[in-house]
């Protein structure tokens, strides 16, 4: 039983942390809720940072998880611009960078992830950028506008979601864009080569140049400014700015120094949590990008770096902290918008896990649903410019359906007719 004199502390003022605080209150918790975030901004959502906000089409106010006044109304004590530097598990305290010590009864780690850095000469030049925070997006907006105005060149390292979304935004601003990617297709580690090609074609049609099968080895510059980006096959791409979009690493340092069990780095790392999002310490939980969940549906440990996982994982952890019975086994879900292509992906099917890709619709027209199957069972589905199908797609995955493949590929057959 949780009583009113308890203190629940949340480390990390992102979506997972803010939603956890909201849920503690909506579930009736009357003790202290303390939310500590090292950014100065109130908790905000990051997807617009590489889409509408980057393009100047969405207002700054629209990205925040709650209105600024909500925290006081909900009696959530906010410590912004403060970093938690240590956890003392025996004393049940956290220590902030300014020396303040705060006691907790239950602790939630929602520390998210941070962009991986390019480890090459020239990475410290002023024109080398990352994209994770609002301040990064503000800076990149100016950079893209200037590149568009001056016919400038942007080189993007990495053809993942963020690299491709920024490529689309940069083309809308009118910048010249080259994307350097070691794999043979974009989004290779998520979609595999079959469907990744759809995104290569989309961007090529909008004037993006790809350099596949190569890595950036050096960024050359003069007087602090970027001049070019070199790759390991000896090519040199002219560049005024470079975006490093080579993935994100979970922020596990705090958990690690507190002796919590971490997940295997080879499989994505993160803080290891059970199906109720509890870490190896019964009073400490983790959610969002940083949590590697014992996922019962896929029977593996999964760390999901997506919006929906923070949106739902924060509340699930809050309920578990309140002693409720939680089994977090949602079908992973994410979305992306690039030019006039909108997509939603549900499931989990990295290359090596599937043996068949079924396309339902017209991939050339970019209006289709792709399904990834193993031995006939649906593992994942992605709808591209086809809407309102997430529910049946997720049901096919959740129920481990082995549909008739011809019917699955036939858009005239309702998805609902394929359930087992
Ligand atoms: C540019 C961009 C675009 C994206 N677009 C999409 C999209 O289209 N679709 C999609 O599904 N997902 C998208 N994502 C991913 C999605 O935004 C993340 O999955 C989500 O932000 C994760 O939320 P989180 O709360 O776990 O972590 P975060 O949002 O990273 O928040 C964690 C917070 O904790 C703070 N923190 C860390 N350590 C400490 C500490 N020791 N003390 C205090 N504070 C600390 C961090 O600074 C940060 O503010 C995008 C991400 C980015 C960066």
Quick: pLDDT tens for 88-101: 999 999 999 999 99
Confidence category of residue 204, pLDDT binned at 50, 70, 90: very high
Q: Find the 24 Cα to ligand 1 centroid distance in Å.
A: 20
373, 404 Cβ separation under 8 angstroms: no
Integer angstrom CA distances of residue 314 from 18, 199, 210, 246, 318: 8, 31, 37, 26, 6
For 376-415, how does the pLDDT look when each residue is reduced to its tens digit (9 = 90+)? 999 999 999 999 999 999 999 999 999 999 999 999 999 9
Q: 153: which 2 tokens?
A: 């060149």
Q: 298: which 2 tokens?
A: 């896929």
- Whether the predicted pLDDT of 218 surpasses 70: yes
As a whole number of angstroms, the distance between CA 154 and CA 397 comes to 39
Q: 11: which 2 tokens?
A: 């480390």
Percentage, residues of the chain above pLDDT 90: 96
Buried b / exposed e along 387-416 (16+ C-beta atoms within 10 A)? eeebebbbbbbeeebebeeeebbeeeeebe
Is the whole-model pTM more than 0.85? yes
Give backbone dihedrals phi and psi of 170, rounded to 5 degrees, phi first.
Answer: -65, -40
- Average pLDDT over all residues of the chain: 97
Give the H or E element holding residue 78.
Answer: strand 76-80
Please report where in the chains the tokens 């993935």 appear, as a residue: 247
As a whole number of angstroms, the distance between CA 296 and CA 250 comes to 21
For 14-41, how does the pLDDT look when each residue is reduced to its tens digit (9 = 90+)? 999 999 999 999 999 999 999 999 999 9
- Mean pLDDT within 73-83: 98
The per-residue pLDDT for 115 is: 98
DSSP 290: G
Q: Find the 280 Cα to ligand 1 centroid distance in Å.
A: 23
The per-residue pLDDT for 338 is: 97
As a whole number of angstroms, the distance between CA 220 and CA 235 comes to 12
Bridge partner residues of 153 (DSSP): 176
Give backbone dihedrals phi and psi of 250, rounded to 5 degrees, phi first.
Answer: -65, 140
The per-residue pLDDT for 4 is: 82
The per-residue pLDDT for 2 is: 67
Q: Which residue stretches of 206-289 are H helix? A: 253-257
Residues at CB less than 6 angstroms from ligand 1: 11-17, 36-39, 46-47, 49-50, 83-84, 110-113, 131-132, 162, 251, 254, 288-289, 305-308, 310, 334-336
The per-residue pLDDT for 420 is: 74
Confidence category of residue 266, pLDDT binned at 50, 70, 90: confident
- Mean pLDDT within 182-187: 97
Stronger pLDDT, 267 or 190, i.e. the higher one: 190
- Whether the predicted pLDDT of 263 surpasses 60: yes
Which of 37, 46, 108, 342 is the best mutation target for the ligand 1 pocket, counting ligand atoms within 8 Å of the beta carbon and taking the most? 46
- Whether the predicted pLDDT of 230 surpasses 70: yes
As a whole number of angstroms, the distance between CA 241 and CA 227 comes to 8
Residue identifier of the C-alpha nearest atom 3 of ligand 1? 47
Q: Find the 161 Cα to ligand 1 centroid distance in Å.
A: 14
Ordered structural domains, the chain, with CATH: 3-114+249-321 (3.50.50.60), 128-246 (3.50.50.60), 340-418 (3.30.390.30)
- Whether the predicted pLDDT of 136 surpasses 90: yes
Q: Beta strand pairing status for 241-244 and 128-129? A: parallel
For 341-361, how does the pLDDT look when each residue is reduced to its tens digit (9 = 90+)? 999 999 999 989 999 999 999
Which of 84, 131, 144, 306 is the best mutation target for the ligand 1 pocket, counting ligand atoms within 8 Å of the beta carbon and taking the most? 306
The per-residue pLDDT for 1 is: 57
- Whether the predicted pLDDT of 291 surpasses 70: yes
Closest CA to 358 of 417, 411, 409: 409
As a whole number of angstroms, the distance between CA 292 and CA 278 comes to 10
- Whether the predicted pLDDT of 317 surpasses 60: yes
- Whether the predicted pLDDT of 138 surpasses 70: yes
The per-residue pLDDT for 59 is: 97
Q: Find the 220 Cα to ligand 1 centroid distance in Å.
A: 31
The per-residue pLDDT for 267 is: 79
Q: 373: which 2 tokens?
A: 């199957």
- Whether the predicted pLDDT of 257 surpasses 70: yes
As a whole number of angstroms, the distance between CA 86 and CA 407 comes to 55
Q: Find the 45 Cα to ligand 1 centroid distance in Å.
A: 7
- Whether the predicted pLDDT of 131 surpasses 80: yes
Bridge partner residues of 301 (DSSP): 294
Which of 40, 43, 112 is the best mutation target for the ligand 1 pocket, counting ligand atoms within 8 Å of the beta carbon and taking the most? 112
């Amino acid at each position: 039983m949780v009583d009113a004199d308890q203190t629940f502390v949340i480390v990390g003022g992102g979506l997972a942390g803010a939603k956890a605080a909201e849920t503690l209150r909506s579930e009736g918790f009357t003790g202290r809720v303390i939310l500590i975030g090292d950014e100065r901004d109130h908790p905000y959502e990051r997807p617009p940072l590489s889409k509408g906000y980057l393009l100047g089409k969405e207002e700054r106010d629209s990205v925040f998880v709650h209105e600024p006044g909500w925290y006081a109304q909900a009696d959530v004590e906010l410590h912004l611009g403060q970093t938690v530097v240590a956890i003392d598990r025996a004393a049940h305290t956290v220590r902030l960078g300014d020396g303040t010590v705060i006691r907790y009864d239950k602790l939630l780690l929602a520390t998210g992830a941070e962009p991986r850095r390019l480890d090459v000469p020239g990475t410290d030049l002023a024109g080398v950028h990352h994209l994770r925070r609002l301040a990064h997006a503000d800076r990149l907006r100016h950079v893209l506008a200037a590149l568009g105005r001056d016919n400038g060149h942007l080189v993007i390292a990495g053809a993942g979601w963020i690299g491709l979304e920024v490529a689309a935004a940069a083309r809308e601003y009118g910048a010249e864009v080259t994307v350097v990617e070691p794999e043979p297709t974009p989004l290779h580690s998520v979609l595999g080569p079959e469907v990744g090609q759809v995104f290569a074609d989309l961007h090529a049609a909008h004037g993006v140049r790809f350099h596949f099968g190569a890595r950036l080895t050096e960024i050359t510059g003069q007087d602090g400014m970027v001049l070019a980006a070199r790759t390991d096959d000896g090519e040199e791409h002219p560049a005024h700015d470079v975006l490093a979009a080579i993935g994100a690493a979970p922020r596990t340092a705090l958990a690690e120094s507190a002796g919590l069990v971490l997940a295997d780095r080879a499989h994505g790392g993160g803080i290891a949590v059970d199906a109720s999002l509890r870490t190896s310490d019964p009073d400490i939980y983790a959610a969002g990008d940083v949590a590697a969940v014992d996922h019962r549906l896929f029977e593996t440990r999964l760390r999901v770096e997506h919006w929906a996982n923070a949106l739902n994982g924060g509340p699930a952890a809050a309920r578990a902290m309140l002693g409720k019975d939680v089994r977090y086994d949602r079908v992973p879900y994410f979305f992306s918008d690039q030019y006039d292509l909108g997509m939603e992906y549900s499931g989990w099917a990295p290359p090596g896990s599937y043996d068949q890709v079924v396309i339902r619709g017209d991939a050339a027209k970019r209006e289709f649903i792709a399904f990834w199957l193993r031995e006939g069972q649906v593992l994942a589905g992605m709808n591209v410019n086809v809407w309102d199908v997430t529910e049946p797609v997720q049901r096919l995955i959740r129920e481990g359906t082995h549909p008739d493949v011809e019917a699955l590929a036939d858009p005239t057959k309702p998805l609902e007719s394929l359930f087992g």
